[in-house]
Every structure is written in structure tokens, then in C-alpha cells.
Amino acid sequence: MSVTSGVFFGNKTSFVGGAPRSNGTGQVVFFTKSEEKHEVIFEVQLILNGEQFASSFGYSLTSLDVNSDG
């Protein structure tokens, strides 16, 4: 439903997808993308789960440099 990206863990770009209907409570999934032998591989780094049923957790996402490190 929503997508953003940023450098959240180390120095590699992460992609973030919001899935507000996942598991009934919504999820936000952080993942990286790499290529090996002409094959694209997505590796999940972190999954945040919503807490309340039908709360639409993950419906909207944004990236922000809170500590001004670039």
C-alpha cells in the first residue's frame, strides 16, 4: 500500500513497504535488494507489526533524517 526507502541500518539502502491489511493488524517490512548471478534477492531486515485489529498500521510511510547525518 505504501513504499519508501532510506539508509536505516549501516550504509546500505533499505526499502520499506507498508501492508495495512497484513495479519489483520498491519505490518511494515524493511528489506534490502541485491543481485547474485542475475538473480534479484530481497532480504527482510525487520518487520514491525501493528497492535490493533483493523488499525491500518502501515497505510502511510515517510522517511526522515532525524539526526541530520545525511
What is the Cβ-side half-sphere exposure of residue 8, based on CA atoms within 13 angstroms? Answer: 16
The Cα–Cα gap between 57 and 26 comes to: 5
**pLDDT for the residue numbered 14:** 92
Full-model pTM: 0.81
**What is the tens place of the pLDDT at every residue in 12-56?**
899 999 999 999 999 999 999 988 888 999 999 999 999 999 889
Q: Is 63 a residue whose pLDDT tops 90? A: no
61 has a pLDDT exceeding 80: yes
Contact 30, 14 (CB under 8 A): yes
Residue 8's pLDDT is what?
A: 87
Residue 66: per-residue pLDDT: 83
Hey, where are the domains in the chain?
Answer: 2-49
